[in-house]
């Protein structure tokens, strides 16, 4: 059996972003923060949907992608807000 408490982390505690690596001095709009970047899986799916025999219009495929990334961004912000992070906004 595994003990209930294991003092060893499964991975090193490294910061997600380098120190001082945010945008400085630039204007950032709400639309910049309300969407996550396209992932490799998303790019693969978009390519397959546009080139597949079951045709969907490119407008439909891109609209779906935009909806999905906005939805994921909202979920990420909500996740951090629920856990009490003071500034729960996306930084890309």
Q: What is the full per-residue pLDDT of the chain (92 aa) written as tens digits?
A: 555 655 555 555 555 555 555 554 444 555 556 788 988 988 998 888 788 777 778 888 889 899 999 999 999 989 988 888 776 665 55
Q: Is residue 62 part of a domain?
A: yes
Distance CA 11, CA 26 (A): 34
Q: Is residue 75 part of a domain?
A: yes
Can you say how many angstroms the Cα of residue 34 is from the centroid of all Cα atoms in its chain? 10
pLDDT of residue 84: 85
Structural domain count, the chain = 1
pTM to 2 decimal places: 0.43
Domain that holds residue 57: 36-82
pLDDT of residue 92: 55
Helices (H) and strands (E) counted in the chain, each on its own, are 3, 0
Q: For helices 58-82 and 40-51, give the axis angle rounded to 10 degrees.
A: 160
Residue 84's Cβ-side half-sphere holds a number of Cα atoms within 13 Å equal to: 0
Distance CA 14, CA 91 (A): 17
């Amino acid at each position: 059996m595994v003990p209930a408490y294991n003092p060893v982390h499964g991975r090193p505690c490294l910061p997600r972003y380098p120190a001082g690596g945010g945008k400085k001095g630039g204007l950032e709009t709400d639309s910049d923060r309300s969407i996550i970047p396209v992932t490799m899986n998303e790019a693969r799916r978009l390519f397959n949907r546009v080139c597949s025999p079951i045709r969907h219009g490119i407008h439909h495929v891109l609209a779906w992608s935009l909806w999905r990334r906005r939805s994921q961004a909202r979920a990420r912000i909500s996740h951090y807000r629920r856990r009490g992070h003071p500034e729960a906004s996306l930084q890309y």
